[in-house]
Structure 1
């Protein structure tokens, strides 16, 4: 599969610039079409408030939403024109629940680009929740950190590999990026032995598969029972100067990860580079 149709969620927040720029980097590299998507949440007022304040407050909310949409459109159009890809881009402004709408629109794209949820985000602007988009759209989701800016994406890639169905799906979804990368590192943390795990040489089988696709790949593995696997992956990515992490998401239920913790949840909250998740 080639990456020829990308969707990026755009809003009026400061973090949106980095997200749009990340999507543009991929669109340029893969000669892809890029759709900027803005979703305005419909005004939600308790009936007793709407009755007291009347249509005036609703009109103000709608006007504010339109101003936000205009700001986001201007940001997106300025960025794609500056990058010279205006002819391969389009703008869509829709209404509804931002996470649900993104999941639906994302079904018609090769990759959906969203932002990591900023814990300090304005509570009046509903965020797009990457984990829900991931479950709803059936497409890989690239999550861009809310802090920092990416000078490159996909030049130096780390694959978090545990031989699961989700990890295999992620590698396949990311193949166009991996084939174009300068360096790919497969990392297995606390590898599970045996035929249904990572075998005697953790990461060797998936590295061989990628090498047959012409990917420049190496394989590493670490065992450290006392350290969080998510931290090990992020530290390794920093050590090799990675600009993209690829991994399967939620190999166990989200409820179980919420209660017990898990690698997906940890990286969702602590990512320092863009992460391509697949489920």
Structure 2
């Protein structure tokens, strides 16, 4: 198994690395890599209307990019050395188009760990997110913005049958099979309208404790209701399908579905469905 973690901000790097550590601890030995991409174009001057950066602006941009890389490299080094025994995780730096390079690396990974998007992120963060989840159509683990006491011991699956959920569950299956307990939460408009998840019986036969938690959806945002329910049942990982493209853009840059990312306190494992065979 190959795991990839993308570091793009110093303030979220520790949480991203904790999520990577959670995967390594639950899955056992794996080929793991930490990636940082240094952009070559100043995000303040991406369109012709914004003109060309002057010498001062260019030097400022180069200094900022270099300083960020130095900081993230040191954070990764300290994280690697802190483990007992030290983790054999490779550090990789690339220079170029962030979205393209992240997509290329994520396409070869089984799971890619990303930082949680924040409202005022620069464009490189959004490009990395889009490159991994949308362009590479990779399974993505979105790290929380706080320390979590456990990871993967009690995954919660937001069950709403769709192709994107099938892909997310497929990526999460090694974690689900190793879990102490798995809860399927099912938000419904009317009671018992969604059939019981067939995967529950499969996991139960493997000795995993399985629960199905149904609840009626209210008038508010569905994503927020799912988040609250996942927290209420004591989950430490949320598995859910990503949205089709219009909702995906909302998810990245705001709108109704941003809620589950903006306020989430759980790692989220998700995957975006390709256009071919898309059902969600």
TM-score w.r.t. the length of structure 2 is 0.82
* Separation in structure 2 between the aligned mates of residue 99 and residue 181 of structure 1, nearest angstrom: 33
Alpha-carbon contact 1:115-1:128 (below 8 Å) kept = no
In structure 2, the CA distance between the partners of 1:57 and 1:143, relative to structure 1 (3 Å rule), is same
The CA deviation string for residues 168-226 of structure 1, in whole angstroms up to 9 with x for no partner, is: 221111011111111110011016899xx733xxx342311332444321112112342
Aligned residues of 1:207 and 1:217 also touching (Cα < 8 A): yes
Q: Which residue of 1 aligns with 2:222?
A: 229
Structure-1 residue corresponding to 2:92: 92
CA distance in 2, matches of 1:230, 1:257: 15
Paired position in structure 2 for 1:142 = 141
Structure 1: distance between partners of 2:270 and 2:248: 18
Shift of 1:82: 0.8
- How much has 1:70 moved relative to structure 2? 1.6
For 1:131 and 1:256, locate their aligned partners in 2 and report how far apart those are by CA, in whole Å.
Answer: 9
- Aligned-partner SS, 1:88: coil
C-alpha contact 1:8 1:113 (8 A) present in aligned 2:
yes
Q: Which moved more, 1:71-80 or 1:97-106?
A: 97-106
CA contact (8 A) 2:143 2:268 kept: yes
Q: Which residue of 1 aligns with 2:246?
A: 254
Runs of 4+ in 1 over 6 A off after TM superposition: 191-194
Shift of 1:36: 0.8
Unaligned 5+ residue runs, structure 1? none
Residue 277 of structure 1: aligned partner: 270
Who is 1:34 aligned against?
Answer: 32
| TM-score, structure 1 normalization | 0.82
Alignment of 1:84-233 (within 5 A): 84=84, 86=86, 88-121=88-121, 123=122, 126-129=124-127, 130-145=129-144, 147-190=145-188, 198-199=194-195, 203-233=196-226
1:267 maps to which residue?
260
Q: How many pairs align?
A: 263
- For the 8 Å contact 1:134–1:140, the answer to whether it is kept is yes
How far apart are 1:94 and its partner, in Å? 0.6
Is there any run of 5+ residues in structure 2 with no aligned partner, and where?
273-280
Q: Secondary structure at the match of 1:26?
A: helix
Specify the alignment match of 1:24 in structure 2: 21
